[in-house]
Chains A and B, each alone.
Chain A
């Protein structure tokens, strides 16, 4: 069963700009799926069409088996969306924002109250239920949108940049919360610019760019396809220029740092042996870029 099935989806705006050029996508029920792409790639248009905020030019969208054109009410009932921009009434209290959304989905008041409490507790906002929402911090507003998207117990949750502008501590707490939501059986589709987030949370991935989409891939297999990893080496003593070690490409960053390009099938041991032979001591090392970020950049360069 697919939580989301998209066939030949096209969108051309009135100004003539084509945002989607025949996109096909299927996301299995229970998946935690990353939809990545640069700004203007078509992600928001695709999410807008699935959530009925953008009118498609042609193509077919099914949410949990319900066709968005033929059975819109059932399709919408199966879907929860937390968009990138805050779109709740900033003058209402946190509790009212979530309660009203439950009402729009036709949920009886008693059940709506229970679900509101459950969802606000899940995102750790229950204590703020009487706070006017514009007084919340950015991170709290993001969590409020997730609680609102979950209140009608959707089977598919779409999160567009859910942790944008959120500090690292809260981001990690949100990741735990999203993992738990997914563990409870909710399919999650995530778009993010924090590629570490996609790498940490998602099991499958698809790249969208220039209105087209690549076939989805397993995240582990995808990350395994990386050919060269980049590291930054911190040196114990100053160095005037980059040394030469056979099999590796070294770049001088400053007198205490080198950048090293390491082929995946070569490993790091040879590099350390080579540097040691030259009398260079490495005090520590770290990834220059996140692995997924590297693949993302490679892909953009190719395209």
Chain B
């Protein structure tokens, strides 16, 4: 049974990898172009006039945030698009009739989202190396934060797909929640630059903690406590994993 579940898991996982690799010009190339423009416009042209932030050039300061922002949006969009189209085309039924348990189905889709998120992160980091200074100060910490963040947002994408009833529904949350929270999560500025009231408001944004933890691993500066950042991200991921398994168990959005 264990071997069977492992085979089922690998089948879903490689199917997911194959899906986004087959269309790599749509999945891996756009973030490279978008972030190259970010680095050119915000980092070089505008950043050159901003000066240093927390002892680093503006370009060096924004690189970790832009990398993690790409990880967040691509791990989310991979799972939400893949699982929703699986539902839409009804081949989710192939999995539901099979003996693959719910945790295998969830893990397979989430693993696909994590790999895409991390791959895009690597692509963006590669682009950044052409603009910014030396790479990660603490590679292990950076990888840990990126991994946990991509797991969290893959799960969030999965839940979005479960409830989505049209293709419009899968773009609502990225457009109206994820992107604003990412931009307001300290990608382009330190929260210490904000007035006290808005600084306190900004500390309520969970993405701020992930970006700062990643920035701490990348250049050694952070606006928040790193332990707190890991606890929040890990706790949220656990919560969303439990919710996803419950939704699958109940068949919400996928069974009559």
A residues near B (Cβ < 8 Å) are 13, 45, 48, 51-55, 72-74, 76-77, 79, 81, 83, 85-90, 100-101, 103-109, 148
Whether A87 contacts B99 in the complex (CB less than 8 A), given A55-B255, A103-B10, A106-B4, comes out as no
Cβ-based interface call for B236 (8 A):
no
One of A55, A85, A106 near B99 (C-beta < 8 A) = A106
Question: Chain A nearest CB: distance from B32 CB in Å?
Answer: 25
Q: Does B98 contact A (CB under 8 A)?
A: yes
Nearest first, the 9 closest Cβ-Cβ pairs linking A and B are A106-B4, A103-B11, A104-B98, A73-B99, A87-B90, A76-B99, A54-B256, A106-B7, A87-B93
Task: State whether A87 touches B94 (Cβ < 8 A).
Answer: yes
B5 to chain A: which residues have CB within 8 Å? Answer: 106
For A52, give its contact among B1, B89, B90, B96 (CB under 8 Å): B96
Q: Which of A48, A53, A90 has the most CB of B within 10 A?
A: A53
Contact B93 A107 (CB under 8 A): no
Q: A54-B256, A77-B99, A100-B15 are in contact. Are A105 and B89 (CB under 8 A)?
A: no
Q: Looking across the interface, which residue of chain B has its beta carbon closest to that of A44?
A: B256
**Chain B neighbourhood of A148, CB < 8 A:** 94
| Contact A105 B93, CB 8 Å, known A54-B256, A77-B99 | no
Per-position 1/0 for B74-102, Cβ under 8 A of A: 00000000000010011101111111110
Q: Complex: how many Å from CA A14 to CA B251?
A: 13
- Report the separation of the CA atoms of residues A185 and B256 in the bound assembly, to the nearest whole angstrom: 32
User: How many residues on chain B are close to A (CB under 8 Å)?
Assistant: 27
**CB-defined contacts of B90 to chain A, threshold 8 Å:** 85-87
State in angstroms the CA–CA spacing of A106 and B1 once bound together. Answer: 8
Q: A53-B97, A87-B93 are in contact. List 13 more A-B contacts (CB 8 A).
A: A48-B256, A51-B96, A53-B256, A72-B99, A73-B99, A83-B93, A87-B94, A90-B89, A100-B94, A103-B12, A106-B1, A106-B6, A107-B4
Please determine whether A54 and B10 come into contact, CB atoms closer than 8 angstroms.
no
Give bound CA distance, A85 to B93, whole Å. Answer: 11
Tell me if A87 and B7 are in contact (CB < 8 A).
no
User: In the bound complex, do residue B91 and residue A105 qualify as a contact, i.e. CB atoms below 8 Å apart?
Assistant: no
- Is B177 at the interface (CB under 8 A from chain A)? no
For B10, the chain A residues whose CB sits under 8 A away are 103
Q: Does B142 contact A (CB under 8 A)?
A: no
Smallest Cβ-Cβ distance to B2: which chain A residue:
A106
Residues on B with beta carbons closer than 8 Å to the beta carbon of A103: 7-8, 10-12
Q: List 26 A-B contacts (CB under 8 A).
A: A13-B256, A45-B256, A51-B97, A53-B255, A53-B256, A54-B255, A73-B1, A73-B99, A79-B97, A81-B97, A87-B91, A87-B94, A88-B94, A89-B86, A89-B89, A100-B15, A101-B98, A103-B12, A104-B8, A104-B11, A104-B94, A105-B4, A106-B1, A107-B4, A108-B3, A109-B7
CB pair B93–A104 under 8 Å, yes or no, is no
Determine how close the nearest CB of chain B comes to the CB of A52; give it in whole angstroms: 6
CB distance from B85 to the nearest CB of A (A): 9
Nearest CB in chain B to that of A87: its residue? B90
Contacts of B91 in A (CB 8 A): 87-89
- How far does the alpha carbon of A62 sit from the alpha carbon of B7 in the complex, in Å? 26
- Taking a contact as CB atoms under 8 Å apart, the answer to whether A104 and B95 are in contact is yes
Contact yes or no, B11 A52, CB < 8 A: no
Q: Is A101 touching B94 in the complex (CB atoms < 8 A)?
A: yes
Q: How far is the CA of A55 from the CA of B7 in the complex (A)?
A: 26
A52 touches B97 (CB 8 A): yes
Q: How distant is the Cα of A81 from the Cα of B10 in the complex, in angstroms?
A: 23
